[in-house]
A and B are shown apart, each in its own frame.
Chain A
């Protein structure tokens, strides 16, 4: 199922700042991973199927 609103890429990322202290860990991890990728220390890992709520009831 698709959400009908596009959350907006910039708007998703700015939530890491708005969320304050709680978000700091996630923000650090996100940018650390980007840095590692940039330095080619780490490759992109294959996407795992996210744990979604059971859509089929």
Chain B
């Protein structure tokens, strides 16, 4: 409970991603996360809070923990008058659908549909269907937008259907049916993939008979073209007169649920999926590396650790022994998907796996560049692991060694970094296609000099003949 008399107006910083719903707006303050509700929003919340559904969802930990907040003055952050405030638990680390592997987006879609179907049974519904309303406690999805729940108008069609298609269904279909990763598409357009774009990819003869494509993609795109100029209110009235009802709404949700359940992505073998088992380390080297990471992680108990280039998550698991949350990032979609599925099956809530290339990380996006935050803006780690990563960033990505270290220094965290020298078999492979002498700054002595200019070296250890690990603290 917020301290009585807490003044939200004084120290607020509105969460820029929450402005679209005019009945509910989120404020992040040093005291916690608050949600300001309009009069309508408050009535919807009251209906939800009194429902059996709410009690069940809280018990299942499927919704963000929420309580009424006692505040002195409600800030003027809504287009209408503010009526009440709620306080939410803080999500360990915010992530976005363009960073989630297939199975995460699929599980978020199933949560969205499940919540909506269960809400219908108590004459409630969800006013939208956005994966940005789902966040993660490790590999467990939680629904954070309590303001999405509203009292049901049973004769109205589902307002979230189009959004569900654009942000959940089409991305999943593109990956499952065409092996086309959706991350760049979702990052390129926060509203998602419009029906006409989905049709352009899935409209071919081979795909049009796949489950769900005809109605949700082809017909949807056609109807949208045809009714582009139509007045929505009239169609709504027609539907009402024709008897649109809750049963039909549930039928739509149920069909989508079985469709999403049947979508599967067979990622196959990529260069990295077998890396954990089949890499250049022998058992002794792997044990030395694990011990080095364990010692570094054990020196501090932090809130947040980043494992950059996490691969199969071996070292993220070690780091998680001493951190509240480990954000495990890798550019290889299939590897991260496999990691997520394993973590989910183990019910881990301390490791958040994300797909992202560090040479092209998630930027600030959306309205005024503030709706969705860059990776760094969402929380800074106390410890950063960069294992078997530097050569990919510096040689494949052509990032100068000093640039990489400047960026790591800017995080102001302890780093554990592995440097494979030019004689390392993997480095030779990466350099193989380039001219002799390419990436001349990628060289052990230069790396160590640049590291020590920016960090205080705590210790280093050779794990193999060609690879060295360093643990270093930022210089003041």
In the complex, what residues of A have CB within 8 A of residue B20's CB? Answer: 4
Contacting pair B235 A1 (CB below 8 A): no
| A residues lining the B interface (CB < 8 Å) | 1, 3-23, 25-27, 29-30, 33-34, 45, 47, 50-53, 55, 57
In the complex, what residues of A have CB within 8 A of residue B288's CB? Answer: none
Contacting pair A26 B161 (CB below 8 A): no
Contacting pair A19 B248 (CB below 8 A): yes
In the complex, what residues of A have CB within 8 A of residue B43's CB? Answer: 55, 57
B210 interface residue, CB < 8 Å from A? no
In the complex, what residues of A have CB within 8 A of residue B152's CB? Answer: 53
Contacting pair B252 A19 (CB below 8 A): yes
| B residues lining the A interface (CB < 8 Å) | 20-23, 40, 43, 123, 127-128, 151-153, 155, 157-163, 165, 195, 215-216, 219-220, 222-228, 230-232, 235-245, 247-252, 255-256
In the complex, what residues of B have CB within 8 A of residue A45's CB? Answer: 241
Contacting pair A12 B235 (CB below 8 A): yes
Known interface pairs A7-B161, A10-B223, A50-B155. Does A22 touch B256 (Cβ–Cβ under 8 Å)?
no
Known interface pairs A22-B248, A52-B153. Does A7 touch B158 (Cβ–Cβ under 8 Å)?
yes
Contacting pair B160 A15 (CB below 8 A): no
In this complex, what residue of B is CB-closest to A3?
B159
| A–B Cβ pairs within 8 angstroms, 12 of them | A3-B127, A3-B159, A5-B128, A5-B159, A7-B159, A7-B162, A15-B252, A18-B215, A23-B248, A27-B242, A50-B155, A53-B153
Contacting pair B232 A9 (CB below 8 A): yes
Known interface pairs A5-B127, A23-B251. Does A14 touch B232 (Cβ–Cβ under 8 Å)?
no
Contacting pair A22 B220 (CB below 8 A): no
Contacting pair A9 B22 (CB below 8 A): no
In this complex, what residue of A is CB-closest to B155?
A50
In this complex, what residue of A is CB-closest to B214?
A17
In this complex, what residue of B is CB-closest to A37?
B238
**Binding site secondary structure of chain A:** helix
Contacting pair A22 B235 (CB below 8 A): no
A33 to B335, CA, bound (A): 54
Contacting pair B251 A26 (CB below 8 A): no
B252 to chain A minimum Cβ distance, whole angstroms, is 4
In the complex, what residues of B have CB within 8 A of residue A55's CB? Answer: 40, 43
Total residue contacts A-B, CB cutoff 8 A? 133
Query: In this complex, which of A25, A34, A50 has the most chain B Cβ atoms within 10 angstroms of its Cβ?
Result: A50
Contacting pair A13 B255 (CB below 8 A): no
B267 to chain A minimum Cβ distance, whole angstroms, is 28
In the complex, what residues of A have CB within 8 A of residue B22's CB? Answer: 4
In the complex, what residues of A have CB within 8 A of residue B160's CB? Answer: 5, 7
In this complex, what residue of A is CB-closest to B153?
A52
In this complex, what residue of B is CB-closest to A21?
B251
Contacting pair B227 A1 (CB below 8 A): no
Q: Give 9 closest A-B pairs by Cβ, nearest first.
A: A10-B223, A22-B251, A10-B224, A11-B162, A30-B242, A9-B227, A29-B242, A7-B159, A12-B157
In the complex, what residues of A have CB within 8 A of residue B248's CB? Answer: 15-16, 19, 22-23, 26
A55 to B225, CA, bound (A): 35
Contacting pair B232 A5 (CB below 8 A): no
In the complex, what residues of A have CB within 8 A of residue B228's CB? Answer: 9-10
In the complex, what residues of B have CB within 8 A of residue A29's CB? Answer: 242-243
In this complex, what residue of B is CB-closest to A57?
B43
Known interface pairs A19-B255, A23-B251, A53-B123. Does A10 touch B241 (Cβ–Cβ under 8 Å)?
no
Contacting pair A30 B238 (CB below 8 A): yes
In the complex, what residues of A have CB within 8 A of residue B237's CB? Answer: 47
In the complex, what residues of B have CB within 8 A of residue A7's CB? Answer: 157-162, 232, 236
In the complex, what residues of B have CB within 8 A of residue A5's CB? Answer: 127-128, 159-160, 162-163
Known interface pairs A18-B252, A22-B251. Does A11 touch B238 (Cβ–Cβ under 8 Å)?
no
In the complex, what residues of A have CB within 8 A of residue B161's CB? Answer: 7-8, 11-12, 14-15, 18
Contacting pair B242 A26 (CB below 8 A): yes
In the complex, what residues of B have CB within 8 A of residue A53's CB? Answer: 123, 151-153
Known interface pairs A8-B232, A21-B251, A22-B248. Does A14 touch B219 (Cβ–Cβ under 8 Å)?
yes
A33 to B242, CA, bound (A): 8
Contacting pair A12 B236 (CB below 8 A): yes
In this complex, what residue of B is CB-closest to A51?
B155
Contacting pair B127 A15 (CB below 8 A): no
Contacting pair A19 B251 (CB below 8 A): yes
Known interface pairs A9-B230, A53-B152. Does A14 touch B239 (Cβ–Cβ under 8 Å)?
no
Give 13 new A-B contacts, CB below 8 A, not counting A14-B223, A50-B155. Answer: A4-B20, A10-B195, A10-B225, A10-B230, A11-B220, A14-B215, A14-B216, A15-B248, A15-B252, A21-B251, A26-B239, A30-B239, A57-B43
A50 to B347, CA, bound (A): 46
Contacting pair B163 A22 (CB below 8 A): no
